[in-house]
Structure 1
């Protein structure tokens, strides 16, 4: 990656700092919130911070291979999050941890995570689809600017803000009321180079995995989160790590939504590196409740 511009590098440093939790007891950690937050706490931040907390109770020889999480309450942006880790088991090959995220004395999120020593075994994978290179595509900010007139004025600054992760959608058509198929492919990477720390890259991948995914189930219905016609929130999130991946190199997020109903939408994703290696799988159900 070429040197990032100063603003992008600053956004990335800010995110890395947010993921550097304060240990306040043996199994208790405090996480600060992004100053960029304006509406509610971003779920990807809570997932990533919870994974940081769990990782800090497990040796580096046991990388995380999966996590399963539920969002229980909206997170407040002006209150730090306390992460309480339960060390459920340390076996000969696997370690299991549970994490509860707490604000104002109430749990807002819980997560179970599993860690495994590195082992060899049988291998297969789905091939990465053939898509345009990210360098040929508009950035997320450029894409959003192409239809900014359709966004309510009070939301435009937030809508066009620069973020620490650069997303580039393969389908760069303007959202419309007609809707489209429940599939999308998105390149993403950190806006600036990162240290050679596999645990940090794993946490940043977890952070980014909660971005764009929930919009997949909205596509067939022509829904837009900023329209006011739908209430949208992540309900749960599951992530499986298959291989180490650098979050500061381009990763392809291949997403689909096989079902929606009962005010919920199911979304799935596969994350590949540029060599075509499958690095992670994701599943998430989200609230898509019509507003009267």
Structure 2
């Protein structure tokens, strides 16, 4: 496990303050001083899951809202409310707090595996991840034109190996249909801990999702005139998840309006099993030029 993956794994594990309260630390992923949304998604799922007494019950869905930007210099306190433990399902609510203000809240539902009807969407046909360049390689090719913090990070081994199927030119993106496909896995190996793999997937799900809403408009997240932020995020976990092997993120953006972009995605393993789905709406606002 490389140093970046070890650090990310430790972030997701959290420190227990009592049976329903946990403490998380942050990494300034983009040099903005703001907590990456995927981090609080993964940490909140970890916090909620650690209050479930029945080890057979795992999260099958989570629904979250981002309220305030998180500060990477401050720890995040996760307070879990035990809403219900029924005969088949458990429900939890998690509030993430900094400086005694809620910055994020999430509800999650848990269920033990049981037999039932099965069907799923068909996995798209795309090139193998081994035939594609990694996102880091693509960033390194334009490092001299990236913001300094991003250029420095591009020179380091990342925790995730991310490989876009049809990468765009981030500096001159052009207009594209609002669909994209991205392969990803951890850059190393995680222990066989289903909760850790699921939390890592929640973390990763906040990457590339909102970017899909920019594709028809000839924009990329590098445009300094854009203000972008996740508003809400939902995930459904369908089947076992293995972040040590390649997963395909099949993304689309059906709509953008009122300075918001709506995106949704299916996540498949390399064998074609639909392991998870997610949806997100985010702020995409043009910032007036300074005079």
* TM-score between the two structures when normalised by the length of structure 1: 0.93
User: Does residue 24 of structure 1 match 2:17?
Assistant: yes
Tell me which residue corresponds to 2:244: 248
Query: Which runs of 5 or more residues in structure 1 are unaligned?
Result: 1-7
Name the Cα RMSD after superposition.
Answer: 1.5
Distance 1:77 1:118, change over 3 A: same
Partner Cα distance (1:154, 1:28) in 2: 33
Tell me which residue corresponds to 1:3: none
Distance 1:220 1:159, change over 3 A: farther
Instruction: Identify the match of residue 157 of structure 1 among 152, 155, 172.
Output: 152
User: Does residue 226 of structure 1 match 2:222?
Assistant: yes
> How far did 1:144 drift?
2.0
Partner Cα distance (2:150, 2:166) in 1: 23
Distance 1:55 1:152, change over 3 A: closer
Distance 1:35 1:72, change over 3 A: closer
155-164 or 248-257: which moved more? 155-164
Shift >4 Å, 4+ stretches:
152-155, 158-161
Query: Which runs of 5 or more residues in structure 2 are unaligned?
Result: none
Distance 1:268 1:165, change over 3 A: same
Distance 1:187 1:154, change over 3 A: closer
Tell me which residue corresponds to 2:137: 142
Residue 238 of structure 1 aligns to a residue whose secondary structure is strand
Distance 1:83 1:167, change over 3 A: same
Instruction: Tell me the number of residue pairs that the alignment of Structure 1 and Structure 2 aligns.
Output: 285
* Contact 1:27–1:57 (CA under 8 A) maintained in structure 2: yes
> How far did 1:159 drift?
5.5
Instruction: Identify the match of residue 53 of structure 1 among 39, 47, 53.
Output: 47
* TM-score between the two structures when normalised by the length of structure 2: 0.94
* Contact 2:2–2:157 (CA under 8 A) maintained in structure 1: no
**CA displacement, residues 88-124 of structure 1 (integer Å, 9 cap, x when unaligned):** 0000000000000000000000000000111111111
Partner Cα distance (1:113, 1:154) in 2: 34
Tell me which residue corresponds to 1:4: none
**CA displacement, residues 173-208 of structure 1 (integer Å, 9 cap, x when unaligned):** 424353211110000000011101111101101110
Partner Cα distance (1:220, 1:166) in 2: 26
